[in-house]
Structure 1
Amino acid sequence: MSKIVPRVLLIGVGRFGVSHLDVLQKLQSQKLLSISGVVVKTKEKKRELEKELAIPVYTQLTPTLLRNVDGVDIVTPYPTHYSLTKKILPYANVFVEKPIAEKEKEALELARLAKKYKKTLMVGHIYRYHPVTQKLRKLIGHHKGRIRVEGEFISPLDTYRGENPSLEKLHFFDVLDYLLEKKPISIWGHYLDPKRFLEVSLRYPRKIDVVLKLGWRRNEKIRRLVFSLEGGQVIEADFTNNIINITKNGRRKTVVVDNKPTSLEGELLAWRDVLLGKNKQFPDGLTGSRMVRIANRSTQTIKKPRFAVIGGGLFGAVTAIKLSSLGEVHLFERHKDLMTEASWANQYRHHMGYHYSLSPETIKEIKVATKDFESYYEKSIVRDFPAYYAVAKHDSQVSSREFLSLCKKMGLPYKQIKLPKEVLNPDEVSLTVRTPEAVIDYECLKNDITKDLKGKKVKVCLGHRVTGIRLLESGEKKLDIRLLAGGATSKKFDYVVNATYANCNQFCEWLDFPARDLEWRLKEIAIVRLPIKKPIALMIINGPFSTFVPLGRTGLYTFGDIPLSIHEIRTGKNALKILDKKRKTTKSRWMAMQKRCLKWHPMLKKAEYVGSMFVILTIERGEKANDARPTQVTYHGFGCYSILSGKLITAVTVAKKIAGTIDNSQFV
């Protein structure tokens, strides 16, 4: 080899090969290397290039040609990389575009051949030479806490030529390898669009989780990584526009990264130094094989996926029903029956949104979800009574004018009326409206869901308590299960849905996902018989007031007193355990509720107390300020979802949303 100017041979002058040729010619003009020739596939292409270039053009790779160069630059379609590299390594050093091969076994063979023949083998993982990557290494290289990474490497659909997305778009696998200097300990992937659009989840040591979307979709070109660091800092890297946005403590800083030299120039300069023996740190055959391994593992076909849904409440049961069309579903419930906790201890409003005068977003969510719920469970909805809302004269967080304005804005029908003073004291309210809001009959709904589960052949596992979950190297989830009848077992699943509500953070702890900032409330819902001939529902808004709702078709009512119904609020690691213990021994506050609410409802003097339901409510701590109760679906990666339910009416919409992220046909 020339010790000053390496001699290189270029194979391939297609779309990206032309870019390589341009950079090589630039480096040759700077006397940094010498181009010994270009190899093309056809004689026609040879004649065409000979008219344009003052460089030898060949159509054959011969031992003589290879022995007279220092390095060969392979820029051909990736299915040819393995065979070409294998052919060349006995004679010359190789730079091969990514991926090094289509299979990990082939990639490892090439790495062994390079060692055997004492040749350097560099793989063209160009994004590690991107200026944005170099800047990221300085920003996150020394971070020791948890990191959550989300990324997209997406190209317009009209550029798709049948490539494998995990191989063609594996750039970020290498960027992470370069930045983190660690190998993933768990790899899992699934297609969002058959063969074209893929989602890959990677777990690295030191609590680093990554979710990447790769492939071709719509008319989009996106090259983006977002790093959420423990402590609150967020770093968003835009590789297309060479911009990094850094957000910390609510302040955002934008860094524009200089794109000189370009990624390709930096990469080929690095290869020149490799040829001269000056660079020992480069993506070699073993690096390339690691990337192929991730790509191969992330596209392993799941012929019939297995789903685990943990929690047999309304949300868990409906989600299990919806997922049953995609694969085998197991629904795990720790109790002897379904819908025994928050789905049972509930006032069962078929919400229209009046309740949430301080949260228009919650109203919008309810309106969207209504059609979905009614299309499945219309028979369980009781509509044969009026529902009233009243605005208190004192201590209300919303005025009559504001409430009516919101109803008009959100399209909520109402009619102003007056109720008998025994039912509602007119001296205590400034407005009363009649609405068409209904309630849900719990027993009817439960019966319908039980029939659906049986009809969809969901494996309902009652008395099965999930006691732990492990993320395996394959990305599968192994559930440890304790049986109420005695004994224990374990099962593996491809997808897991956490619908445990109050226990949702336990799921995150098992799988080492970030937990939500939650508070738990021990709430009492009194069950009473009211001295009313015809059933009605009535709620005074918005503040420390009262509400009562018919309990299905039983003739009874659920009664709530906003301040007195909440017995205790707790946060922290042991909060749920403490409240659950208290739930079993807490005494009713009905007499205090009755006494306090007499000023609004004089008829309560003749009300008959039947009993109480005690339940632990779970909400995001930030939702206290605006009364929001949205249903939140969190995708953790690795086929794992958590549902933090808000209103019963959103159950079907949530189930469809989760199933929609798995069902490939939605993007076809």
Structure 2
Amino acid sequence: MFDAIVVGGGFYGSAIAIYLAQQRRFGRVLLVERERELLVRASYHNQARVHNGYHYPRSFTTAYRSRVNLPRFVRDWPAAVKKDFVKLYAIARRNSKVTSRQFERFCRDIGAFIEPAPGSLARYFDPHFIENVYVVEEHAFDATVLRTWAESELRESGVEVRLATRAVAVVPATEGGLVVTLGAAEGGEYPVRAAHVFNCTYSGLNQLGGRFGTTRTGLKHELTEMALVEVPAPFKELGVTVMDGPFFSLMPFPARALHTLSHVRYTPHLQWEDAVGVDPYQRMHDYGRPTRVDRMVRDVARYLPLVEQARHVDSLFEVKTVLQKNEGDDGRPILFERHAELPNCYSILGGKIDNIYDVLEKLESETLLPSSGTEESST
């Protein structure tokens, strides 16, 4: 009988398992991950950006929460944070959903640092397409360092980790608590009991069988390509985002000492609404994964001509999951739902790595009882 089973060994699942063991004093916590390593899916296959609010001028709440969470993330995971590069945000002259003046006011409203880029940096942009360029404060993270942290903390916290294991179904136990059916990679299924279940499987959030059901909040999936490129020398210590609309980002990717190139138009290869029985990961597995990096580079070079010299090294394909209700404003709040029919069963999803603090704050307000039935301290 476990006090809690956390399904999904990405950054969120690992951090929640550690929190339950360390802060809520749960004696028996099980972390289940279908891959053979932790933090190898969405936690790794992304832009590696630690947001500071600039990306969300159409969602003040998301922007403000990023401003609050960034310094906490830097404090808690300093070894994983890359700060030694200059981050530029540029506003396009055409098709941008914000003007330079609006962007400046937005940054002042959320208290984010911003200043005009010096001519030595602004000259890289084509002024026919770019209205203004700004220096801002934004960082990147190394997912491999976070994986090392997670492995160490889970071990020291006494959390049991089962890799190459997937959760199949969740049902109420007749004697109280929950029964989770687990399946090993080599085959065979077996049940385990727990007082609490935390589903942190990101794109697989609604793929559990039994009585688990689906989230009340609608989900949308995108099959995305994050291109890894070797940038020309002037861009080695730069990060660039052109916004706000159908534009792009060029961000350092510390885990590979390369840059990610993402484009709002070309990064999503497929899009579909979440549906029971349609496994997002199987859909990605069946996809041929043709790269669109040539189209990304061709469009980006209109704004940053030197990008034509970038060399494509690899592409990271992953399923990205967002809340349908935030498609219009590009907001990235967390999803935190407690299932009505399954007591102490939770679905948790975050859109950005710094959202972890929003999740932990939600957990602090929950009454969580270990299997012994004695309420534990949340301090």
TM-score, length basis structure 1: 0.52
2:345 paired residue number: 640
**Which secondary structure state, in structure 2, belongs to the residue aligned with residue 506 of structure 1?**
coil
2:170 pairs with 1:469? yes
Deviation, structure 1 residue 512: 3.5
**Which secondary structure state, in structure 2, belongs to the residue aligned with residue 415 of structure 1?**
strand
**2:4 is matched with which residue: 274, 284, 307?**
307
2:271 paired residue number: 569
1:500 paired residue number: 201
Q: Take 2:337 and 2:140, find their aligned partners in 1: how far apart are those partners?
A: 28
Matched residues, number: 365
**1:545 is matched with which residue: 247, 272, 286?**
247
Deviation, structure 1 residue 652: 4.1
2:290 paired residue number: 587
Q: 1:485 to 1:605 in 2, by over 3 A?
A: same
> In the TM superposition, what whole-angstrom CA distance separates every residue of 1:123-153 from its partner, at most 9, and x where no partner exists?
xxxxxxxxxxxxxxxxxxxxxxxxxxxxxxx
State percent identity of aligned pairs.
25
Deviation, structure 1 residue 598: 1.2
Q: 1:305 to 1:459 in 2, by over 3 A?
A: closer
**Which secondary structure state, in structure 2, belongs to the residue aligned with residue 426 of structure 1?**
coil
- Give the number of the structure with larger relative contact order, counting CA–CA contacts within 8 Å between residues 6 or more apart: 2
Superposed, which structure 2 residues align to 1:39-438 within 5 Å? 306-325=3-22, 326-327=25-26, 328-417=28-117, 418=119, 420=121, 423-438=124-139
Task: Indicate if the aligned counterparts of 1:373 and 1:651 stay in contact, CA closer than 8 A.
Answer: no
Q: 1:554 to 1:618 in 2, by over 3 A?
A: closer
Q: Structure 2 counterpart of 1:457, which letter?
A: G
Deviation, structure 1 residue 400: 0.7
Deviation, structure 1 residue 305: 6.1
**2:321 is matched with which residue: 608, 611, 618?**
618
Q: Structure 1 counterpart of 2:108, which letter?
A: K
2:366 pairs with 1:661? yes
Task: Indicate if the aligned counterparts of 1:520 and 1:576 stay in contact, CA closer than 8 A.
Answer: no
Task: Indicate if the aligned counterparts of 1:470 and 1:479 stay in contact, CA closer than 8 A.
Answer: yes
**Which secondary structure state, in structure 2, belongs to the residue aligned with residue 627 of structure 1?**
coil
Task: Indicate if the aligned counterparts of 1:321 and 1:456 stay in contact, CA closer than 8 A.
Answer: yes
Q: Take 2:333 and 2:19, find their aligned partners in 1: how far apart are those partners?
A: 21
Q: Structure 1 counterpart of 2:356, which letter?
A: A
Deviation, structure 1 residue 508: 7.7
Deviation, structure 1 residue 446: 1.3
Q: 1:306 to 1:578 in 2, by over 3 A?
A: closer
Deviation, structure 1 residue 315: 0.4
> In the TM superposition, what whole-angstrom CA distance separates every residue of 1:385-417 from its partner, at most 9, and x where no partner exists?
111111100000011111100100110111111
Q: Take 1:662 and 1:508, find their aligned partners in 2: how far apart are those partners?
A: 26
Q: 1:494 to 1:428 in 2, by over 3 A?
A: same
Q: Take 1:404 and 1:658, find their aligned partners in 2: how far apart are those partners?
A: 35
Q: 1:526 to 1:470 in 2, by over 3 A?
A: same
> In the TM superposition, what whole-angstrom CA distance separates every residue of 1:184-228 from its partner, at most 9, and x where no partner exists?
xxxxxxxxxxxxxxxxxxxxxxxxxxxxxxxxxxxxxxxxxxxxx
**Which secondary structure state, in structure 1, belongs to the residue aligned with residue 17 of structure 2?**
helix
Q: Take 1:585 and 1:442, find their aligned partners in 2: how far apart are those partners?
A: 26
**Which secondary structure state, in structure 2, belongs to the residue aligned with residue 586 of structure 1?**
coil
Deviation, structure 1 residue 421: 6.2
1:258 paired residue number: none
Deviation, structure 1 residue 662: 3.5
Q: Structure 2 counterpart of 1:333, which letter?
A: E
Q: 1:515 to 1:311 in 2, by over 3 A?
A: same
**2:227 is matched with which residue: 526, 536, 546?**
526
Q: Take 1:441 and 1:344, find their aligned partners in 2: how far apart are those partners?
A: 8
**Which secondary structure state, in structure 1, belongs to the residue aligned with residue 266 of structure 2?**
helix
Rg comparison, structure with higher value: 1
TM-score, length basis structure 2: 0.90
Q: 1:424 to 1:474 in 2, by over 3 A?
A: farther
> In the TM superposition, what whole-angstrom CA distance separates every residue of 1:448-492 from its partner, at most 9, and x where no partner exists?
111111111110110111111111244411011111133322100
Q: Structure 2 counterpart of 1:314, which letter?
A: F
Where does the alignment leave 5 or more consecutive residues of structure 1 unmatched? 1-303
Q: Take 1:509 and 1:416, find their aligned partners in 2: how far apart are those partners?
A: 56
The Cα RMSD (Å) is 2.3
Where does the alignment leave 5 or more consecutive residues of structure 2 unmatched? 369-374
**Which secondary structure state, in structure 1, belongs to the residue aligned with residue 69 of structure 2?**
helix
Q: Take 1:548 and 1:489, find their aligned partners in 2: how far apart are those partners?
A: 45
Farther-moved stretch of structure 1 (304-313 vs 325-334): 304-313
